[in-house]
């Protein structure tokens, strides 16, 4: 089977009902939600329009993030937030979410078994804490950025804003939106040195003064250094915006993603380290290792200005994903005596349908001399998942097979047996939340809020004809204080709490034991400082302690599970984002972190280090425009050593990667860029899934991109 990549507020308000949609793909910048200035008299209706206003911010930095559900400047948000702008994503030549997150301090990419986005945020592994326009997008698949304006990373426990999960943080992608004026067409074509390529187009077409359409589409083919690896992605996203009045806007969107690729789980370990010398060797078969998913996401959103300082947003989303995943992989470490490795195999299918409805009310006002930014909302959801798994059968009816190490492995063909797991699960949720950010004085703000979640899960085991269910009612508080010694400087402290049911973050199964256990809890304490050095440059620093409690541990006497397991992660995160000089931009991040098991869990004893948590991370991306036509880019990423799993038996060595780029404007309409990744051809192992599924880094590679703007 063949499978085939600074503006002042007043100036931006003048662009009302426009967006970065006015700019072709190459010129996209992050969107900036704005609220009406409290001092406006309301004479100009545009100054109080409810729509999220967007405009080009001539910097990598953003002033706000839509994920906080209010037009609060990031300077006044008491938590670490990173916004990856469209401009930065384009400069780095990034088309996939995982590649973009390499430049966020405190975020480590996990392998995801070669079939999904999976990350570790502040030591917490997740496959589900992903959102699209603030609505949950938790299916296990790879996310493209062809239709995305910017990416927001909110670190720390985020249950008040997003509900269950989010213990270490969440990722929120913000989709490109139609503009009601200014027709534009952007297109790009890119080709890589391994034969990979990507085509993309972005058309914004106003249909009348109150109606506009936008169409984003892409076709991408993947390839890299690994034997037999290939894949392709098709993405189409038509959107429609209707603004019948200055106080009302309706947005409709349909997103279709079709991704099919070889599922590659890397190489096994040898003597407690990744296996060297087999960087390109594929421990699978191209006719078996297949990851394919088709995703449909429909969203409707109403934004209504109810009064000069009161805005209502109502959003609904339906998503349907159909996924198949088959794989052969190394199931154990290399046996040095026989120079062989044992392989295992399984396949899985998952069909998921999700409905989400959300309403959010934002009020900016005063009670006497005290200012308020209040958010209050409700959210309901209904999700069903049908999942099945079958084990791979090797010749002789065995579920594993030993093969000798070679540059190309001789792996026998397999078949898949009868289902070993078949489940139908249903998750029903209802949430309500309220938060008030109170300005007691120009130099002092306090934040307080709470969210209530009703979470119900029921699961049917179709093989045993048994069922289990559980309902939890959880309160998730948030508290913070912000002190501002200067208008452009803030010092903050915050406390947040989140929860995760024992069935895991995908809720594809629930057994009788899990149904008796209370959810895990995450408690995040954080202090930090933020400094807007200039309107285009921001510095941030944060120190945190994140405790995870109620993890399972099997009592050695009774053998029964008890909720006594605990872990703790502590860290420091530093960042600098924006424009240092008119021609010089930078995105710099550093994380120093440590995570330990404090009380034994079912996976590890006390004292062990958490998985995929390097002591230090450094990420740097910078662009310098030598002339109006010529620009240069440089990227450096570094990670210290880390354990592949909490077993602490296999270590990923430290590594440093250097990337470069050259940008050149051929004309006002056409530009080209050349990105060279891993310039020094470093051979390293960036991440893993288990102790014996370890990814190998791509060697030096180049990618040439041509962008056109009409």
Total length of the chain: 710
Number of domains forming the structure of the chain? 1
Give Cα 455 to chain centroid, integer Å: 23
| CATH code of the domain covering residue 412 | 2.40.170.20
Pull the structure tokens for residue 423.
Answer: 């489940």
What are the tens digits of pLDDT across the range 359-383?
A: 999 999 999 999 999 999 999 999 9
Q: Give the pLDDT score at 558.
A: 64
Backbone angles phi, psi at 22, to 5 degrees: -65, -20
**Cα dihedral 330/331/332/334 (nearest 10):** -20
**Mean pLDDT for all residues in the chain:** 90
Residue 67 backbone dihedrals phi, psi, to 5 degrees? -65, -20
d(CA 156, CA 78): 10
Whether 319 and 278 have beta carbons less than 8 Å apart is answered as no
The per-residue pLDDT for 584 is 96
Helix (H, G, I), strand (E, B) or coil at 13: helix
| Nearest-angstrom CA–CA distance, 531 and 541 | 9
* Strands 169-175 vs 130-132: parallel, antiparallel or unpaired: parallel
- Compute how many other C-beta atoms are within 10 angstroms of the C-beta atom of residue 480: 21
What is the reported pLDDT for 157? 87
Residue 4, in any domain of the structure: no
Q: 24-68 pLDDT, tens per residue?
A: 333 333 333 333 333 333 333 333 334 333 333 457 999 999 999
| Domain assignment present for 478 | yes
What pLDDT does 5 receive? 34
Question: Rounded to whole angstroms, what are the CA distances from 381 to 253, 318, 588?
Answer: 19, 10, 38
Rounded Cα gap, residues 161 and 451, in angstroms: 8
pLDDT at position 47: 36
**What 3-state class would DSSP assign to 539?**
strand
Is 527 a member of any domain? yes
Rounded Cα gap, residues 567 and 520, in angstroms: 11
Give which of 141, 415, 102, 115 is closest to 264, Cα–Cα: 115
Residue 17 has pLDDT above 70, yes or no: no
Q: Is residue 346 a part of any domain in this protein?
A: yes
- Quote the CA–CA distance of 296 and 258 in Å, as a whole number: 9
DSSP string, 199-266: EEEEEEEE-SSSEEEEEEEEEEEE--SSTT--EEEEEEEEEEEEEEETTEEEEEEEEEEEEEEE----
Dihedral over Cα of 416, 422, 428, 434: its sign: negative
pLDDT tens, 603-642? 888 999 999 999 999 999 999 999 999 999 999 999 999 9
Question: pLDDT by residue (tens digit) across 178-218?
Answer: 999 989 999 999 999 999 999 999 999 999 999 999 999 99
Above 90 in pLDDT, residue 119? yes
CA distance 21 to 241: 12
* pLDDT beyond 80 at 224: yes
* Pairwise CA distance, residues 552 & 504, whole Å: 12
User: Rounded to an integer, what distance in angstroms lies between the CA atom of residue 527 and that of residue 495?
Assistant: 9
Q: What is the pLDDT of residue 516?
A: 86
**Pairing, β 310-330 against β 340-367:** antiparallel
Is the pLDDT score of 22 beyond 60? Answer: no
Identify whether 3 is part of a domain.
no
Buried b (16+ CB within 10 A) or exposed e, 344-366: bbbbbbbebebebbbebbbbbee
Q: What is the mean pLDDT of residues 400-420?
A: 94
Lowest mean pLDDT among 230-234, 486-490, 602-606: 602-606
Give the confidence band of 19 by pLDDT, cuts at 50, 70, 90.
very low
Which pair of structure tokens corresponds to residue 4? Answer: 């085939």
| Average pLDDT over every residue of 418-443 | 96
Q: What is the pLDDT of residues 238-279, one digit of tens each?
A: 999 999 999 999 999 999 999 999 999 999 999 999 999 999
Task: Tell whether 1 is covered by a domain.
Answer: no
3-state secondary structure 190-214: EEECCCCEEEEEEEEEECCCCEEEE
Say if residue 7's pLDDT is above 90. Answer: no
Could you list the residue range(s) of the whole structural domain that residue 600 is in? 9-709
Residue that is written with structure tokens 């807007």 in the block: 532
pLDDT, residue 603, reads: 82
Distance CA 54, CA 242 (A): 16
- Residue 665 lies inside a defined structural domain of this protein: yes
pLDDT per position as a tens digit, 538-576: 999 999 999 999 887 766 666 666 778 899 999 999 999
Instruction: Quote the percentage of the chain above a pLDDT of 70.
Output: 91
- pLDDT confidence of 509, banded at 50, 70, 90? confident
What residues form DSSP beta bridges with 366?
371
Query: Would you call 339 helix, strand, or coil by DSSP?
Result: coil
Q: Average pLDDT, stretch 118-133?
A: 94
Instruction: Quote helix, strand, coil % in the chain, to nearest 5.
Output: 5, 55, 35
Residue 110 in any domain: the answer is yes
Residue 76 in this model has a pLDDT that exceeds 70:
yes
8 A C-beta contact, residue 105 and residue 589 = yes
Nearest 5°: CA angle at 362, between 357 and 365?
165
Whether the pLDDT of residue 331 is over 50: the answer is yes
- C-alpha dihedral, 574 to 579 to 583 to 587, nearest 10°: 30
């Amino acid at each position: 089977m063949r499978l085939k990549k600074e503006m002042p507020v007043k100036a931006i308000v003048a662009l009302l009902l426009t967006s970065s949609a006015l700019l072709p793909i190459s010129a996209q910048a992050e969107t900036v939600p704005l609220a009406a200035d409290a001092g406006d008299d309301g004479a100009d209706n545009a100054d109080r329009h409810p729509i999220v206003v967007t405009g080009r911010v001539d910097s990598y930095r953003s002033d706000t993030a839509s994920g906080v559900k209010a037009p609060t400047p990031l300077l006044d948000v008491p938590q670490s937030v990173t916004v990856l702008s469209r401009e930065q994503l384009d400069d780095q030549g990034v088309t996939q979410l995982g590649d973009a997150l390499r430049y966020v301090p405190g975020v480590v990419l996990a392998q995801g078994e070669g079939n999904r986005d999976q990350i570790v945020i502040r030591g917490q592994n997740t496959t589900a804490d992903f959102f699209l326009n603030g609505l949950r997008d938790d299916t296990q698949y790879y996310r493209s950025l062809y239709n995305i304006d910017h990416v927001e990373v909110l670190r720390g426990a985020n249950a008040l804003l997003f509900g269950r999960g989010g213990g270490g943080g969440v990722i929120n992608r913000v989709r490109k939106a139609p503009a009601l004026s200014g027709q534009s067409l952007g297109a790009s074509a890119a080709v890589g040195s391994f034969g990979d390529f990507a085509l993309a187009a972005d058309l914004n077409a106003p249909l009348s003064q109150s109606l506009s359409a936008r169409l984003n589409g892409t076709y991408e083919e993947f390839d890299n250094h690994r034997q037999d690896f290939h894949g392709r992605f098709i993405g189409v996203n038509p959107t429609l915006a209707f603004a019948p009045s200055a106080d009302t806007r309706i947005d409709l969107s349909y997103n279709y993603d079709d991704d099919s690729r070889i599922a590659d789980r890397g190489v096994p370990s040898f003597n407690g380290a990744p296996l060297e010398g087999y960087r390109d060797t594929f421990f699978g078969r191209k006719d078996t290792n297949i990851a394919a998913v088709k995703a449909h996401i429909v969203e409707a959103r109403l934004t209504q200005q109810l009064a000069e300082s009161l805005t209502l947003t109502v959003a609904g989303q339906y998503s349907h994903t159909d996924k198949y995943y088959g794989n052969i992989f190394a199931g154990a470490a290399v046996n040095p005596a026989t120079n062989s490795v044992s392989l295992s195999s399984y396949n899985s299918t998952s069909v998921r349908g999700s409905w989400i409805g959300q309403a959010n009310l934002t009020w900016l006002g005063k009670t006497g001399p005290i200012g308020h930014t209040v958010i209050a909302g409700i959210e309901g959801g209904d999700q069903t998942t049908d999942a099945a798994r079958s084990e791979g059968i090797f010749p002789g009816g065995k579920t594993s097979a030993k093969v000798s190490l070679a540059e190309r492995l001789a792996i026998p063909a397999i078949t898949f047996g009868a289902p070993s797991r078949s489940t139908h699960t249903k998750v029903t949720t209802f949430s309500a939340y309220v938060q008030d950010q109170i300005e007691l004085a120009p130099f002092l703000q306090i934040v307080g809020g709470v969210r209530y979640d009703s979470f119900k899960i029921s699961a049917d085991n179709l093989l045993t004809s048994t069922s289990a269910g559980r309902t939890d009612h959880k309160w998730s508080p948030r508290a913070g204080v912000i002190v501002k010694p200067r208008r452009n400087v803030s010092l903050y402290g915050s406390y947040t709490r989140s929860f995760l049911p024992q069935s895991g973050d995908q809720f594809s199964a629930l057994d009788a034991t899990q149904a008796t256990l209370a959810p895990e809890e995450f408690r995040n304490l954080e202090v930090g400082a933020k400094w807007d050095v200039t309107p285009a440059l921001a510095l941030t620093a944060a120190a945190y302690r994140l405790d995870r409690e109620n993890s399972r541990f099997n009592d050695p006497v009774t053998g029964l599970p008890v909720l006594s397991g605990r872990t703790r992660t502590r860290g420091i995160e530093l960042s600098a984002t924006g424009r240092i000089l008119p021609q010089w931009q930078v995105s710099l991040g550093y994380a120093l972190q440590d995570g330990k098991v404090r009380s034994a869990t079912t996976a590890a004893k006390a004292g062990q280090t958490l998985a995929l948590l390097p002591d230090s991370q450094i990420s740097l991306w910078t662009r310098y425009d030598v002339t109006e036509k010529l620009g240069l880019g440089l990227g450096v990423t570094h990670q210290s050593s880390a354990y592949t799993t909490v077993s602490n038996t296999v270590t990923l060595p430290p590594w440093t990667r250097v990337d470069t780029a050259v940008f050149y404007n051929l004309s006002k309409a056409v530009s080209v860029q050349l990105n060279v990744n891993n310039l020094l051809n470093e051979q390293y192992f960036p991440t893993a899934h288990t102790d014996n599924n370890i990814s190998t880094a791509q060697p030096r590679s180049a990618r040439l991109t041509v962008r056109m703007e009409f």
